[in-house]
Chain A
Amino acid sequence: MLCYEGKVVIKLRINGETHEVTVRPSDLLLDVLREQLGLTGAKPGCLNGDCGSCTVVADGWPIKSCLMLAVEAEGHDILTVEGLGGIAPIQTAFVDMDAFQCGYCTSGFLMVCHALKTQNPVMPEESVIEDWLQSNLCRCTSYQEIRRAVRTMYKTPD
């Protein structure tokens, strides 16, 4: 049985690279990404699992990093917005479709949309896209543009 007490060193696989970090078992993945690894793309918003601005991808599925302990991420492949490299189809689509205003929610939306394409390589029904996008909030209300960006992503060859 694994047991972590006090400060422990764990290995996290983030964006294809393995990092050693020193964490408390109660540290959240979001805080470790931002404060220890300098990966500030995942944004703290509600910290309650509601807004989605902290979304990252774990083993191909979106998760809210404010609701995951860093120690739970061991052994999983974590992808943050930095791992998209600025050239992922969804990033290009967001730029082309003006799918942001202030940009605070953007990295969370990008990760949800990227995971959507990972799990559904062919464009799914609108209801599926709607279900996935309802996980994130955009207070600038760029929802229509974001929806267009998703459709554009699916039309763009990988």
Chain B
Amino acid sequence: MIPFNFIYYRPDSLKEAVDIFAELQSGGKGAVYYAGGSETITMCRVGSIQPQAVIDIKNIPDCALLVKDIQMLHLGSVCTLTQIHNSGLFPLLGLSCGRIADHTNQCRITLGGNLSGTIIYRETSLPLLISDAEITLFGPEGERILPFKNVFNGRMQFKPGELIVQVGVPVWALSARHAHIKKTANEKIDYPLVSLAAIWKDGNIRIAFSGVCSYPFRSEQIEAVLNDRTKSCAERAENAAGLLPESAYSDGEGTGEYRLFVLKNTLEELLEDWDNALL
């Protein structure tokens, strides 16, 4: 049970959504955009947030696109992880989606919700960070289309009142050689100790990580080390692990030291598969 009331809006267009958000804000009423709802409902139930209104964006057609044209795959922000996985249109993202939470929750969690949620792992960001993806945002000042990496530095950088409309992935990335590895401490559906997505472009690896630090990241320094094939797999993995953007993340699932150990092993295995042409 959510122990307080809120107003529920279900707009039919982006303009309606941002207008009502702005109107509520100017009237001193806190509002949240709402799609899959799993995080919002949980936070409302335990009292972490107490919005006076929720704006359900699932009825906005622009946010529900899942279509490929000759240049790009367009993924609406309210597409569920199951829809993305089952579409098979971007296999690497599908692999990430298939390992977030559990299957039933994947039927509700949306792409936009995973990217902008408060849970630190945001694993759908990994394939987007390495595939030259772009993102469309809509807010009171209108539409912004930007490289995904420019508005995601571990978490989404929104302007006030903005929401994610969709993500665009260039077609080269949809069929590129790729790898996805997620290692957990216990159950398959746990949060990651190490989660990585890799894609190969022009013979070089691009790679992004979650679980290793307190936010997901892509590091071109790490990629340069991993692409130096004059060195052994073990050396490259060791050197890469020394280039994290912050100390390795520690919590009840695993200490930073343990995560580093898992990261090095995972990278070494990945590089060996690459060197042995198993990928």
Nearest CB to that of A128 among chain B residues? B103
In angstroms, how far is the closest chain B Cβ from the Cβ of A21?
A: 15
Contacts of B16 in A (CB 8 A): 1
Within 8 A of B (CB), among A47-93: 47-49, 52, 55, 61-64, 66-69, 71-72
B279 at the binding interface (Cβ < 8 Å): no
B104 at the binding interface (Cβ < 8 Å): yes
Known interface pairs A67-B41, A71-B8, A131-B98; A31-B1 also in contact (CB < 8 Å): yes
A39 at the binding interface (Cβ < 8 Å): no
C-alpha gap A47/B11 in the complex (Å): 28
Interface string of B14-37 (1 = CB under 8 A from A): 001000100000000000000001
Interface string of B88-115 (1 = CB under 8 A from A): 0000000000100111110110000000
B247 at the binding interface (Cβ < 8 Å): no
Q: Could you write out 28 A-B pairs with CB less than 8 Å apart?
A: A4-B8, A5-B7, A25-B7, A26-B5, A26-B8, A27-B2, A28-B1, A49-B42, A49-B105, A61-B107, A62-B103, A62-B104, A64-B38, A64-B104, A64-B105, A67-B37, A67-B42, A67-B108, A69-B8, A71-B8, A72-B58, A131-B98, A132-B103, A134-B102, A134-B103, A134-B189, A135-B103, A136-B104
Interface residues of A (CB under 8 A from B): 1-6, 24-28, 31, 47-49, 52, 55, 61-64, 66-69, 71-72, 112, 131-132, 134-136
